[in-house]
Amino acid sequence: MGAEYNDNFLSDMDPVLGDHYRQWLPFCRRAVLDTVDELAVRRFAGPAAGFDPSRLDAEALNAAWVTPFREYLQRSGKLLRPYLICLCMDAYGRDPADRPHQVGLAEIVHSSSLMLDDISDDSILRRGAPSAHQRYGTQVAGASASSWLNICFEVVWNDRESLGQDTTTGLIQALAWEHFVTGLGTTIDVTWPWINDANHKPDEYLQQVLHRSTSYTYRLPLKIGGWVAGADTADRVQLSAFGERIGLAFQLVDDVLNIKPGDSHWGKEVGEDISQGKLNLQVLLALQRLASADRARLHEILGSQTHDQELLSEATSLIERSGALDESLRLAQDLASEARQCVEALKVPKIFKERLFALGTYVLRRNR
């Protein structure tokens, strides 16, 4: 997997979605990078630092703040979150080109959250290359990611006059809430293995994911899209609900792919969740279903924090034998069906409903 953008993933999509996605992908790339470059220039960084920008060490600032983050943006991510903004605006008769900063904002939030997520998980790879903290160290990567994650409020505030008061307020409220609940969910995620507490029901994991992975993945981009597209309150509620359910389905499929990738393009370490002792849905289901000796063995491997491929394969076999992978995928299908009902209620042309339906199908059948 290379470190540059590619659109190979579009071949996995229904053409009704893939063709529209391909149409807007070049704009998404430009909007993201141009927005980052605007924010990174010295005339902005100077006031933020609290003194005359001429006193800034531009080279040092670029090396520690911009470069680690821009590397994530340059890798072969799907730019799905910026595309969702374009999809929403197009659906409600608005031109995405009028809102490049908000299109870029969706990916800035997502990529900076990935950098922080990689630190909390101590991930080795991201999108096929070393994660930022592996390359630049935890202090630099953490500081850079935190700065970019929180700059989103400035992006909205800078455009407050053209956005209008209601949209500006709505976007800031959405960003503030999703920042909080994502941080809370991540805390829960790392706490369970830390205190060695596996006594949790599968529903507890789903509730945790509801407030973590579904946020920056789909729910927040669709909230942003609904606001900048001018959708009414009822439709914004349905877009958020769609994103929540699709986000849950996405994470369940992602957990399965983490230990059983569909192809060679998986950009993370195979079995990383097991190495980290993650207590995700499939692990909790397996621990409930396995016989005592197998359950004890799975506990042992999870607690070892191992990267040994034989042990990771053994754990994967135990989880698969319990039926947990099939159950996780079945639940993902149920969530996608619920998401489809949210789309039916939207007041948009049929073609855009079909694209959202296709997104749900893609989430279920993706293999990378």
Annotate 97-163 with DSSP letters as a single string.
Answer: GG-HHHHHHHHHHHHHHHHHHHHHHT-SEETTEE-HHHHH-HHHHHHHHHHHHHTHHHHHHHTHHHH
DSSP labels for 34-89? Answer: HHHHHHHSHHHHHHHHTS-GGGS-HHHHIIIIIHHHHHHHHS----HHHHHHHHHH
Domain interval for residue 233: 8-358
Q: What pLDDT score does 95 carry?
A: 98
Q: Do the domain assignments include residue 364?
A: no
Q: Do the domain assignments include residue 366?
A: no
Separation between Cα atoms, residue 245 and residue 284, nearest integer Å:
20
Q: Do the domain assignments include residue 2?
A: no
Q: Do the domain assignments include residue 221?
A: yes
**Measured between alpha carbons, how far is residue 121 from residues 153, 205, 346, 351, 363 in Å?**
26, 17, 37, 39, 23
Q: What pLDDT score does 2 carry?
A: 39
Q: What pLDDT score does 1 carry?
A: 31
Backbone angles phi, psi at 35, to 5 degrees: -65, -45
3-state helix, strand, coil in the chain (%, to 5): 75, 0, 20
Separation between Cα atoms, residue 118 and residue 225, nearest integer Å:
26
Q: What pLDDT score does 81 carry?
A: 95
Backbone angles phi, psi at 129, to 5 degrees: -140, 165
Q: Do the domain assignments include residue 367?
A: no
pLDDT < 70: residue spans in the chain: 1-6, 42-56, 76, 196-198, 262-269, 368
Q: What pLDDT score does 205 carry?
A: 83
Q: Do the domain assignments include residue 344?
A: yes
CA 295 to chain centre: 31
**pLDDT tens-digit map of 41-63:** 755 566 666 656 566 677 787 88
Structure-token match 């994470």, residue found: 251
Give the single-character DSSP code of 96. Answer: G
Q: What pLDDT score does 176 carry?
A: 96
Q: Could you tell me which residues come within 8 angstroms of residue 242 by beta carbon, excluding any fewer than 6 positions away?
A: 218, 222, 339, 342, 343, 356
Helix (H) or strand (E) holding 334: helix 324-344
Prediction pTM value: 0.90
Separation between Cα atoms, residue 69 and residue 145, nearest integer Å:
7
Q: Could you tell me which residues come within 8 angstroms of residue 339 by beta carbon, excluding any fewer than 6 positions away?
A: 241, 242, 245, 246, 249, 360
Looking up residue 324, the CATH number of its domain turns out to be 1.10.600.10
Q: Do the domain assignments include residue 208?
A: yes
Q: How many domains does the chain have?
A: 1
Q: What pLDDT score does 349 carry?
A: 98
Residue 142, token pair as written in the block:
């953490």
Residue 225, token pair as written in the block:
């899209």
Q: What pLDDT score does 174 carry?
A: 97
Q: Do the domain assignments include residue 79?
A: yes
